[in-house]
């Protein structure tokens, strides 16, 4: 295979990671980490840094109607499709140095490396910083716009939320630069048709502990978790807490407690990659001297396939019936919301695998418990995602850390996945 020896410039790459990590930095006494919430002064500074680095490397900078900022490596054939590589430069408050920024800066480094190498690809390469991935005003605002799932109402809701954020004096100045100035109708025009794209690749930190525990530098993401959420209500009987003998009670909270204690084991036994959480409990009447009559538990579970979600759904309904089997007790499921799992494209998974193999890196196939821009892109173009380890699984925290050698490994695998896609055998 040609270009086998091509590698990213690791000194330049690691210094961009360091420099980006300093943008929006908060002092330790203010909680540490960095704050680059979208449209803040720090977000603008991060965008400026990305723009200048791209322009200095001879890439063409593009700002779309949803404020997605990208750097393009273009070849002569104007009609060639575009391979998107992306993630996000915005952070949560007190965020870490790598969540999102890694994917954008690794993409930038890959584009610069390709530019300098003189390699010619059958597609343009565009590195995208998506607007508001973290959902300050609306989750995945930028990638939703690019993939065409926004409505005028969803855009207006985002803009209203942003308008109310009084600390962001920079907002009007920033919006003035965006084509269409973030008018709802203009944002709809940020949509890119799937047939103009050659695919989407995203490198991200795992934000979980598995790769580190397995001592494996590269994760090939199989799917992004889908989620279902319930209000699960146990119905019992309110009785005098002093006069009702223990054997004659229908205590809804005892049933709920049995459910909460048993659910994690049930799910772990049959669905080892899935997760279940009981996040809240509402008790009626909620006083010490009356046995609980009605208890609502907020249940949510997530898994990488629809079959697993169905299986968990069934297992938890069965468990609810079991714990509410006593006289005077009943359980009711009120399914509140659900999202489908997003499988990653199998061709893209094999390209990432192939790239890691060719560079001698061990891999692990795993689903992503966290949401990413990739789950939006997967709806319109073949999408692949790769992870590098997160120390102690920490993320959304100043404690986020990935060793430099793993950052470099991830960027080189990304580079070689792009090269593999360009091979005649690579999928297009
Ligand atoms: Zn992220």
pLDDT in tens, 129-181: 999 999 988 889 999 999 999 999 999 998 888 887 766 656 777 778 888 88
Name the strand (E) or helix (H) holding 175: helix 171-177
pLDDT of residue 183: 84
More confident residue, 1 or 22: 22
Q: What is the mean pLDDT of residues 391-400?
A: 95
pLDDT of residue 428: 47
In whole angstroms, give the CA distance from residue 108 to residue 50.
8
- Determine phi and psi for 313, rounding to 5 degrees: -55, -50
Please check the confidence at residue 279 and state whether its pLDDT lies above 90.
Answer: yes
When mean pLDDT is compared across 33-47, 70-84, 173-187, 412-426, the lowest value belongs to: 173-187
Q: What is the mean pLDDT of residues 292-299?
A: 98
CA of 27 relative to ligand 1 center, distance in Å: 22
pLDDT of residue 159: 85
CA of 133 relative to ligand 1 center, distance in Å: 7
In whole angstroms, give the CA distance from residue 94 to residue 38.
14
CA of 164 relative to ligand 1 center, distance in Å: 24
- pTM comes to 0.91
When mean pLDDT is compared across 58-72, 121-135, 178-192, 361-375, the lowest value belongs to: 178-192
Residue ranges of the chain assigned to CATH 3.40.630.10:
10-224+341-422
pLDDT of residue 168: 62
pLDDT of residue 182: 82
pLDDT of residue 167: 63
Which CATH code fits 226-339? 3.30.70.360
Per-residue tokens: 75: 């070849």
CA of 425 relative to ligand 1 center, distance in Å: 31
Per-residue tokens: 187: 């944002």
pLDDT of residue 72: 98
- What 3-state class would DSSP assign to 74? coil
CA of 376 relative to ligand 1 center, distance in Å: 13
CA of 99 relative to ligand 1 center, distance in Å: 5
CA of 79 relative to ligand 1 center, distance in Å: 31
CA of 372 relative to ligand 1 center, distance in Å: 6
- Determine phi and psi for 259, rounding to 5 degrees: -60, -50
Query: Is 39:129 a contact under the CB 8 Å cutoff?
Result: no
CA of 191 relative to ligand 1 center, distance in Å: 21
> What does the chain come to in residues?
428
In whole angstroms, give the CA distance from residue 315 to residue 232.
14
Q: What percent of the chain shows pLDDT beyond 70?
A: 97
Query: Is 376:146 a contact under the CB 8 Å cutoff?
Result: yes
pLDDT of residue 178: 87
CA of 393 relative to ligand 1 center, distance in Å: 14
CA of 227 relative to ligand 1 center, distance in Å: 18
Please check the confidence at residue 47 and state whether its pLDDT lies above 60.
Answer: yes
As a whole number, the mean pLDDT across the chain is: 95
Please check the confidence at residue 88 and state whether its pLDDT lies above 60.
Answer: yes
Residue ranges of the chain assigned to CATH 3.30.70.360:
226-339
More confident residue, 73 or 40: 73
CA of 50 relative to ligand 1 center, distance in Å: 17
CATH architecture of 10-224+341-422: 3-Layer(aba) Sandwich (3.40)
CA of 121 relative to ligand 1 center, distance in Å: 28
CA of 88 relative to ligand 1 center, distance in Å: 6
Helix 41-56 to helix 10-22 angle, to the nearest 10 degrees?
Answer: 160
CA of 100 relative to ligand 1 center, distance in Å: 4
CA of 281 relative to ligand 1 center, distance in Å: 30
In whole angstroms, give the CA distance from residue 45 to residue 4.
36
In whole angstroms, give the CA distance from residue 158 to residue 135.
9
Q: What are the residues facing 281 on neighbouring strands? A: 297
**Residue range 92-137, pLDDT digits in tens:** 999 999 999 999 999 999 999 999 999 999 999 999 999 999 998 8
**Residue range 201-256, pLDDT digits in tens:** 999 999 999 999 999 999 999 999 999 999 999 999 999 999 999 999 999 999 99
CA of 92 relative to ligand 1 center, distance in Å: 9
């Amino acid at each position: 295979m040609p270009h086998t020896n091509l590698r990213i410039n690791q000194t330049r790459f690691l210094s961009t990671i360091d420099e980006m990590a300093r943008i929006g930095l908060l002092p330790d006494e203010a909680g540490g980490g960095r704050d680059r919430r979208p449209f803040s002064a720090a977000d603008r500074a991060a965008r400026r840094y990305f723009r200048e680095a791209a322009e200095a490397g001879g890439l063409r900078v593009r700002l779309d109607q949803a404020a997605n900022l990208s750097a393009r490596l273009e070849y002569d054939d104007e009609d060639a499709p575009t391979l998107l590589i992306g993630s996000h430069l915005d952070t949560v408050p007190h965020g870490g140095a790598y969540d999102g920024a890694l994917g954008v800066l690794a993409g930038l480094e890959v584009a610069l490396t390709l530019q300098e190498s003189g390699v010619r690809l059958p597609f343009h390469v565009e590195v995208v910083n998506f607007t508001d991935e973290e959902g300050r005003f609306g989750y995945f605002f930028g990638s939703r716009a690019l993939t065409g799932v926004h409505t005028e109402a969803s855009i207006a809701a985002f803009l209203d939320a942003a308008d109310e954020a009084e600390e962001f004096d920079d907002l009007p100045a920033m919006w003035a630069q965006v084509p269409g100035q973030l008018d709802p109708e203009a944002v709809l025009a940020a949509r890119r048709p799937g047939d103009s794209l050659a695919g989407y690749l995203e490198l991200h930190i795992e934000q979980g502990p598995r790769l580190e525990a397995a001592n494996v530098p590269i994760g090939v993401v199989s799917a992004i978790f889908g989620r279902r959420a319930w209000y699960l209500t146990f119905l019992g009987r309110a009785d005098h807490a002093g006069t009702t003998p223990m054997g004659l009670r229908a205590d809804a909270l005892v049933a709920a407690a049995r459910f909460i204690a048993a659910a994690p084991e049930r799910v772990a036994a049959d669905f080892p990659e899935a997760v279940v959480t009981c996040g809240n409990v509402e008790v009626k009447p909620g006083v010490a001297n009356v046995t609980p009559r009605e208890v609502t538990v907020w249940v949510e579970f997530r898994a990488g396939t629809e079959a697993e979600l169905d299986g968990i759904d069934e297992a938890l309904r069965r468990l609810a019936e079991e714990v509410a089997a006593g006289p005077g007790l009943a359980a009711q499921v009120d399914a509140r919301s659900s999202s489908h799992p997003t499988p990653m494209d199998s061709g893209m998974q094999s390209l990432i695998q192939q790239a890691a193999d060719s560079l001698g890196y061990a891999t692990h196939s795993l689903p992503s418990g966290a949401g990413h821009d990739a789950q939006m892109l997967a709806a319109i173009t073949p999408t692949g995602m790769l992870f590098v380890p997160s120390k102690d699984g920490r993320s959304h925290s100043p404690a986020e850390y990935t060793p430099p050698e793993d950052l470099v490994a991830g960027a080189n695998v990304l580079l070689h996945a792009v090269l593999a896609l360009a091979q005649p055998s690579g999928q297009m």
